[in-house]
Amino acid sequence: MSIVDVLAARLIEDVKSNDLSGNFLMLGRQDWVGARRSASADLFRETLQKHLPGVTEAELCNSEDGYSETFFRKLGFSEVDSLDYSDFEGASIVQDLAGDLPDTLVGRFDVIYDGGTCEHVFDLPTAYRNIDTMLKPGGVFIAHSPSNNWINHGFYQICPEIVYGFWVNAMNYEALKCVWQPLRPYAARNVVKMTDPNKTKKRPRPLGSFNPGLPVLLDYVVRKPFADIGKPGSVSQSDYATRWEKHADS
Protein backbone atom coordinates (compact mmCIF):
# COMPACT_ATOMS: atom_id res chain seq x y z
CA MET A 1 0.00 0.00 0.00
CA SER A 2 0.87 3.66 0.02
CA ILE A 3 1.25 6.08 2.90
CA VAL A 4 -1.54 8.56 2.36
CA ASP A 5 -2.26 11.52 4.64
CA VAL A 6 -4.45 9.78 7.24
CA LEU A 7 -2.02 6.88 7.60
CA ALA A 8 0.92 9.27 7.84
CA ALA A 9 -0.91 11.15 10.60
CA ARG A 10 -1.59 7.96 12.55
CA LEU A 11 2.02 6.80 12.16
CA ILE A 12 3.31 10.14 13.44
CA GLU A 13 0.97 9.90 16.44
CA ASP A 14 1.90 6.31 17.21
CA VAL A 15 5.65 6.87 16.95
CA LYS A 16 5.73 10.08 18.95
CA SER A 17 3.17 9.13 21.62
CA ASN A 18 5.03 5.88 22.33
CA ASP A 19 8.51 7.42 22.02
CA LEU A 20 9.61 4.95 19.35
CA SER A 21 13.03 5.01 17.69
CA GLY A 22 15.88 2.73 16.62
CA ASN A 23 15.88 0.22 13.76
CA PHE A 24 12.75 0.31 11.62
CA LEU A 25 11.40 -2.19 9.07
CA MET A 26 8.52 -1.65 6.67
CA LEU A 27 6.95 -4.76 5.13
CA GLY A 28 6.88 -3.99 1.45
CA ARG A 29 8.51 -0.77 0.27
CA GLN A 30 5.81 1.82 0.95
CA ASP A 31 4.99 4.53 -1.60
CA TRP A 32 4.69 8.06 -0.26
CA VAL A 33 1.50 9.97 -1.19
CA GLY A 34 0.99 12.43 1.65
CA ALA A 35 -1.78 15.03 1.62
CA ARG A 36 -4.87 14.33 -0.45
CA ARG A 37 -7.88 16.55 0.29
CA SER A 38 -10.57 17.59 2.79
CA ALA A 39 -10.53 16.16 6.33
CA SER A 40 -7.61 13.78 5.82
CA ALA A 41 -5.30 16.50 4.49
CA ASP A 42 -6.26 18.77 7.40
CA LEU A 43 -5.63 15.97 9.90
CA PHE A 44 -2.22 15.26 8.40
CA ARG A 45 -1.09 18.88 8.47
CA GLU A 46 -2.32 19.38 12.05
CA THR A 47 -0.51 16.24 13.19
CA LEU A 48 2.68 17.20 11.36
CA GLN A 49 2.68 20.65 12.95
CA LYS A 50 2.02 19.23 16.42
CA HIS A 51 4.65 16.49 16.46
CA LEU A 52 7.21 17.65 13.86
CA PRO A 53 7.06 21.46 13.98
CA GLY A 54 9.09 23.12 11.27
CA VAL A 55 9.09 20.04 9.02
CA THR A 56 7.31 20.58 5.71
CA GLU A 57 5.48 17.95 3.70
CA ALA A 58 7.97 18.40 0.87
CA GLU A 59 10.74 17.19 3.20
CA LEU A 60 9.03 13.85 3.87
CA CYS A 61 9.34 12.22 0.44
CA ASN A 62 12.45 10.59 -0.99
CA SER A 63 14.08 13.07 -3.35
CA GLU A 64 15.16 10.36 -5.80
CA ASP A 65 11.94 8.33 -6.01
CA GLY A 66 8.39 8.09 -4.64
CA TYR A 67 9.08 5.90 -1.62
CA SER A 68 8.91 6.67 2.08
CA GLU A 69 12.30 6.02 3.75
CA THR A 70 12.78 9.76 4.25
CA PHE A 71 9.46 10.01 6.12
CA PHE A 72 10.51 7.35 8.62
CA ARG A 73 13.93 8.91 9.10
CA LYS A 74 12.24 12.23 9.84
CA LEU A 75 10.22 10.39 12.50
CA GLY A 76 13.51 9.65 14.24
CA PHE A 77 14.49 6.13 13.17
CA SER A 78 18.22 5.57 12.81
CA GLU A 79 17.98 2.66 10.37
CA VAL A 80 15.13 2.22 7.86
CA ASP A 81 14.77 -1.01 5.89
CA SER A 82 12.12 -2.55 3.69
CA LEU A 83 11.39 -6.26 3.26
CA ASP A 84 9.73 -7.85 0.26
CA TYR A 85 9.41 -11.24 -1.43
CA SER A 86 10.87 -9.76 -4.63
CA ASP A 87 13.37 -7.02 -5.45
CA PHE A 88 11.00 -5.45 -8.01
CA GLU A 89 10.59 -2.27 -5.94
CA GLY A 90 14.12 -2.13 -4.61
CA ALA A 91 13.48 -3.43 -1.07
CA SER A 92 16.66 -3.48 1.01
CA ILE A 93 15.87 -7.01 2.27
CA VAL A 94 14.55 -9.68 -0.12
CA GLN A 95 12.91 -12.34 2.03
CA ASP A 96 9.79 -14.51 2.00
CA LEU A 97 7.84 -13.34 5.06
CA ALA A 98 6.44 -16.87 5.40
CA GLY A 99 9.81 -18.55 4.88
CA ASP A 100 12.72 -19.47 7.14
CA LEU A 101 14.44 -16.38 8.47
CA PRO A 102 18.23 -15.99 8.41
CA ASP A 103 19.96 -15.32 11.72
CA THR A 104 20.72 -11.76 10.58
CA LEU A 105 17.02 -10.85 10.92
CA VAL A 106 16.39 -12.39 14.34
CA GLY A 107 15.76 -9.72 16.99
CA ARG A 108 17.01 -6.97 14.68
CA PHE A 109 14.22 -4.37 14.70
CA ASP A 110 12.75 -2.00 17.25
CA VAL A 111 9.65 -1.27 15.15
CA ILE A 112 8.04 -3.16 12.26
CA TYR A 113 5.30 -1.58 10.13
CA ASP A 114 2.77 -3.51 8.06
CA GLY A 115 1.20 -1.00 5.71
CA GLY A 116 -0.77 -3.59 3.78
CA THR A 117 1.45 -6.62 3.22
CA CYS A 118 0.42 -9.45 5.53
CA GLU A 119 -3.01 -9.91 3.96
CA HIS A 120 -1.18 -10.91 0.74
CA VAL A 121 0.76 -13.71 2.48
CA PHE A 122 -1.21 -16.94 2.34
CA ASP A 123 0.62 -18.48 5.29
CA LEU A 124 -0.44 -15.66 7.58
CA PRO A 125 0.32 -17.34 10.94
CA THR A 126 3.92 -17.95 9.89
CA ALA A 127 4.23 -14.36 8.69
CA TYR A 128 3.04 -13.03 12.05
CA ARG A 129 5.36 -15.34 13.98
CA ASN A 130 8.26 -14.22 11.80
CA ILE A 131 7.42 -10.62 12.65
CA ASP A 132 7.66 -11.58 16.31
CA THR A 133 11.02 -13.23 15.66
CA MET A 134 12.41 -10.13 13.92
CA LEU A 135 11.36 -7.79 16.74
CA LYS A 136 13.66 -7.04 19.65
CA PRO A 137 12.30 -7.61 23.18
CA GLY A 138 10.03 -4.64 23.85
CA GLY A 139 9.75 -3.97 20.12
CA VAL A 140 6.56 -2.61 18.59
CA PHE A 141 4.47 -3.83 15.64
CA ILE A 142 2.26 -1.24 13.89
CA ALA A 143 -0.30 -2.44 11.35
CA HIS A 144 -2.71 -0.80 8.94
CA SER A 145 -4.55 -3.87 7.68
CA PRO A 146 -7.63 -4.16 5.42
CA SER A 147 -10.57 -5.00 7.67
CA ASN A 148 -13.85 -4.24 5.86
CA ASN A 149 -14.88 -3.88 2.18
CA TRP A 150 -11.52 -5.05 0.84
CA ILE A 151 -12.73 -8.30 -0.74
CA ASN A 152 -10.20 -9.64 -3.28
CA HIS A 153 -7.60 -7.07 -2.26
CA GLY A 154 -5.63 -9.92 -0.68
CA PHE A 155 -6.20 -13.35 0.79
CA TYR A 156 -7.58 -11.95 4.06
CA GLN A 157 -9.38 -9.12 5.79
CA ILE A 158 -7.96 -8.69 9.31
CA CYS A 159 -10.28 -8.40 12.31
CA PRO A 160 -9.70 -7.33 15.94
CA GLU A 161 -9.60 -10.98 17.06
CA ILE A 162 -6.10 -11.10 15.53
CA VAL A 163 -5.01 -8.41 17.97
CA TYR A 164 -6.51 -9.97 21.10
CA GLY A 165 -6.61 -13.67 20.21
CA PHE A 166 -3.15 -13.90 18.70
CA TRP A 167 -0.93 -10.99 19.69
CA VAL A 168 -2.25 -10.45 23.23
CA ASN A 169 -3.42 -13.88 24.42
CA ALA A 170 -1.09 -16.20 22.54
CA MET A 171 2.04 -14.03 22.23
CA ASN A 172 1.62 -12.00 25.44
CA TYR A 173 1.97 -8.67 23.63
CA GLU A 174 0.53 -5.46 25.05
CA ALA A 175 -2.21 -3.88 22.93
CA LEU A 176 -1.41 -0.16 22.74
CA LYS A 177 -4.13 0.62 20.17
CA CYS A 178 -6.89 -1.12 18.23
CA VAL A 179 -9.32 0.93 16.12
CA TRP A 180 -11.11 0.95 12.81
CA GLN A 181 -9.80 3.72 10.55
CA PRO A 182 -11.76 4.76 7.43
CA LEU A 183 -9.46 5.47 4.50
CA ARG A 184 -11.65 7.85 2.49
CA PRO A 185 -10.45 11.46 2.95
CA TYR A 186 -13.77 12.91 4.19
CA ALA A 187 -14.09 10.19 6.88
CA ALA A 188 -10.55 10.40 8.23
CA ARG A 189 -11.61 11.50 11.72
CA ASN A 190 -14.39 8.90 12.05
CA VAL A 191 -12.25 6.49 14.06
CA VAL A 192 -14.06 3.69 15.91
CA LYS A 193 -12.47 2.13 19.01
CA MET A 194 -12.91 -1.54 19.92
CA THR A 195 -13.85 -3.26 23.13
CA ASP A 196 -11.24 -5.53 24.73
CA PRO A 197 -12.65 -9.10 24.85
CA ASN A 198 -10.29 -9.95 27.69
CA LYS A 199 -12.22 -7.45 29.80
CA THR A 200 -15.76 -7.91 28.41
CA LYS A 201 -15.52 -11.71 27.90
CA LYS A 202 -17.29 -11.19 24.57
CA ARG A 203 -15.92 -10.87 21.07
CA PRO A 204 -14.61 -7.36 20.18
CA ARG A 205 -17.36 -4.82 19.49
CA PRO A 206 -17.10 -1.39 17.89
CA LEU A 207 -17.61 1.51 20.29
CA GLY A 208 -19.38 3.65 17.76
CA SER A 209 -20.73 3.48 14.24
CA PHE A 210 -19.30 3.92 10.79
CA ASN A 211 -20.56 3.83 7.22
CA PRO A 212 -20.64 0.10 6.38
CA GLY A 213 -19.92 0.90 2.75
CA LEU A 214 -16.54 2.46 3.47
CA PRO A 215 -13.24 0.61 3.11
CA VAL A 216 -11.94 0.41 6.68
CA LEU A 217 -8.48 -0.45 7.98
CA LEU A 218 -7.72 -2.13 11.28
CA ASP A 219 -5.21 0.25 12.82
CA TYR A 220 -3.41 -1.45 15.69
CA VAL A 221 -0.21 -1.18 17.70
CA VAL A 222 1.17 -3.98 19.90
CA ARG A 223 4.32 -4.24 22.00
CA LYS A 224 6.40 -7.39 22.42
CA PRO A 225 7.22 -8.46 26.00
CA PHE A 226 10.57 -7.25 27.31
CA ALA A 227 11.25 -10.65 28.90
CA ASP A 228 11.12 -14.07 27.27
CA ILE A 229 7.83 -15.79 28.18
CA GLY A 230 8.74 -19.15 26.68
CA LYS A 231 6.58 -21.08 24.26
CA PRO A 232 3.62 -19.08 22.83
CA GLY A 233 0.14 -20.05 23.94
CA SER A 234 -2.66 -21.44 21.79
CA VAL A 235 -4.77 -19.14 19.62
CA SER A 236 -8.53 -19.10 20.19
CA GLN A 237 -11.34 -16.67 19.46
CA SER A 238 -12.27 -14.80 22.61
CA ASP A 239 -15.94 -15.69 22.94
CA TYR A 240 -15.31 -19.42 22.38
CA ALA A 241 -12.51 -19.38 24.94
CA THR A 242 -14.96 -17.84 27.40
CA ARG A 243 -17.57 -20.53 26.67
CA TRP A 244 -15.02 -23.30 27.14
CA GLU A 245 -13.91 -21.76 30.41
CA LYS A 246 -17.48 -21.54 31.70
CA HIS A 247 -18.15 -25.12 30.63
CA ALA A 248 -15.04 -26.34 32.43
CA ASP A 249 -16.05 -24.46 35.60
CA SER A 250 -19.52 -25.98 35.54
With 0-12 / 13-18 / 19 or more C-beta atoms within 10 angstroms meaning exposed / middle / buried, residue 238 is buried
CA 1 – CA 70 distance, rounded (Å): 17
Question: Tens digit of pLDDT for each residue in 157-198?
Answer: 999 999 999 999 999 999 999 999 999 999 999 999 999 999
Confidence of residue 246 (pLDDT cuts 50, 70, 90): confident
In contact, 206 and 194? CB cutoff 8 Å: yes
Lowest mean pLDDT among 108-117, 178-187, 231-240: 231-240
Question: Tens digit of pLDDT for each residue in 120-135?
Answer: 999 999 999 999 999 9
CA 86 – CA 99 distance, rounded (Å): 13
Q: Give pTM, 2 decimals.
A: 0.95
Question: Tens digit of pLDDT for each residue in 202-225?
Answer: 899 999 887 878 899 999 999 999
Q: How high is the pLDDT of residue 91?
A: 97
Q: How high is the pLDDT of residue 108?
A: 98
CA 149 – CA 210 distance, rounded (Å): 12
Q: What does DSSP say about strands 109-114 and 135-148: parallel, antiparallel, or unpaired?
A: parallel
How far, in whole angstroms, is CA 130 from its chain's centroid? 15
In contact, 74 and 56? CB cutoff 8 Å: no
Give SS3 for 80.
Answer: strand
Q: How high is the pLDDT of residue 228?
A: 81
Give SS3 for 66.
Answer: coil
